[in-house]
Structure 1
């Protein structure tokens, strides 16, 4: 039985808690949250103890699940790692790059399981592409959300775009050659909308747009590669592949089109999207990594790399905003 303590039982924390409470081989030993209102509702609903001293909960558990504000991530991780506890921490891993680099060293020294909550890795629409060769040369991403004060303690880059940064880095097997970015703070003190262009050494280009002041929600990624277009709808859980037909594509819907090179036949494939709970899946994989001595699904280096790109983007935006206008 894996004893887990949870830090933060706000909106997302309650979702994590509800999954952990019904998970096999897991015992939630308690929670920590400075909000008396949150604590009262959780204690009443789940009948688990509230801890008011963070280190006491860490010592009472084998592993901790951190769903607290980003500014608290490093402090909690540091205490847990120095006490040899396994950690699941929500994205972004830390607030600063200095904190992230320190965590990497602490994780190596502690020799524990450390997983970062990049939940879109487990979105059913993305999982539907498992086994399909992804070698994109152009990626277009739109992640739009309606304004919600919750989460505005960090920029839209660290709040929303970091999901897509992580996915793009996991797909494109190349290093970054150049980043350009622009962003505007509209409703908060940090950028609420941003557009980013990431160029890779293999020639791939990713264009990412994120906004938390949109009138509608959208979470779409489009991949363009040789002979194929792949569309991923993270919100509606749909995946589409349009590609030049091969002998292996018998049974798929096909369409003939005329091109300058003659007639081409394209095949349209809608891979099966299994309706899995992404948060439950990532937490189950974290549990299994500990109990079955397996590698974690999203490790500390993955978290560091996504955060590094996010902070490079923030620096580019800050530099653009501070540069004097040319008359």
Structure 2
């Protein structure tokens, strides 16, 4: 069992705290720390855990650190944990800047310690349900819409919401980014609240992503179009649908799902519709448990620090493209 400490007990930190207690087979929760001493003591009393007087005192007492602090402090806290010889779980985004992220990558490698980044959508049942379904998208479309919430508006919607889908798209596209175009508008806050990005990959795949925090409803959908298949993921409802075309002889058609004959310009085919299920999961608990397996059993880290860097790098390219687009708009008026 791994000793672990939680740093940051705000809204999301409390959720992590509950999940760490549920993951008692993997972790011994030694205690918590928050810069708000009064909050830390209240949370410690509520959850029956120890509140440490300083971040360094907690880090020195554990082997793993769970960092759920504001993004602006990720770099300093993760750096201190790695220098103290701890493995780290850190919420997304990895850091504020690419320079900070590169330094942490180098430090984690030299220290021989694992860092997992909290891109929790990797553990969404809709995505997990795809299982062994071949995923080679030519075109990806993602919409992540949310009703306005002042929490998180200190950063652009790219880092607040879109970064979830950037991680998914980078994973599914399976290629390097070739080009990025984007535009966005600050509607209610001082940073862009709605952004649309078009990402082209070196293998020819294209992704069109929209993220908004000024919507009248919540939506988290990803659609993938590929040769002989259409995959729809509803990350909010945690449902997936897979529509695939097979030869009319019925070869290799899965047993589950429904089949329908279809006449196409390429001749008679069979359309197969399936709604695969992965079962209910606690995604945050699952990602924390996956880090424990990586540490103790040598499993690959589910979302590595390098994955976190790639998502952050793409987010920065999109942010730069939005800024350039806004500058052109200003010049035209």
TM more than 0.5:
yes
**Counterpart position of 2:236:** 235
SS of 2:134's equivalent? coil
1:125 touches 1:237 (CA, 8 Å); kept in 2? yes
Deviation, 1:36, is 4.4
- Give the TM-score normalised by structure 2: 0.94
Unaligned runs of 5+ in 1: none
1:237 touches 1:273 (CA, 8 Å); kept in 2? no
**Counterpart position of 1:188:** 189
SS of 1:248's equivalent? coil
Deviation, 1:255, is 2.3
Q: Is the aligned partner of 1:305 residue 2:310? A: yes
Q: What is the number of residues matched between the two proteins?
A: 327
Q: Is the aligned partner of 1:200 residue 2:206? A: no
Deviation, 1:295, is 2.6
SS of 2:252's equivalent? helix
**Counterpart position of 1:7:** 7
- Report the aligned-residue RMSD: 1.5
Structure 2 distance, partners of 1:299, 1:286, is 10
Match for residue 288 of structure 2 among 283, 287, 290: 283
- Give the TM-score normalised by structure 1: 0.96
C-alpha change, 1:104 and 1:290, in structure 2 (3 Å) is same
Q: Which moved more, 1:152-161 or 1:250-259?
A: 250-259
SS of 1:154's equivalent? coil
SS of 2:221's equivalent? strand
2:256 touches 2:274 (CA, 8 Å); kept in 1? no
Structure 2 distance, partners of 1:259, 1:126, is 29
Structure 2 distance, partners of 1:287, 1:99, is 25
Deviation, 1:322, is 2.0
**Counterpart position of 1:133:** 134
2:123 touches 2:286 (CA, 8 Å); kept in 1? yes
Q: Is the aligned partner of 1:224 residue 2:230? A: no
Q: Is the aligned partner of 1:315 residue 2:320? A: yes
Q: Is the aligned partner of 1:269 residue 2:265? A: no
Deviation, 1:42, is 1.1
Structure 2 distance, partners of 1:152, 1:33, is 21
Deviation, 1:187, is 1.8
Deviation, 1:232, is 0.5
Unaligned runs of 5+ in 2: none
C-alpha change, 1:257 and 1:294, in structure 2 (3 Å) is closer
1:30-85 Cα distance to aligned partner (Å, 9 max, x none): 11112345324311212212123211111111110001000010000111111111
2:98 touches 2:312 (CA, 8 Å); kept in 1? yes
1:280-327 Cα distance to aligned partner (Å, 9 max, x none): 110001112122233311111111111000001001111111235347
Deviation, 1:257, is 3.4
**Counterpart position of 2:83:** 82
Structure 2 distance, partners of 1:35, 1:18, is 19
C-alpha change, 1:228 and 1:25, in structure 2 (3 Å) is closer
Deviation, 1:258, is 3.7
1:8 touches 1:32 (CA, 8 Å); kept in 2? yes
**Counterpart position of 1:116:** 117
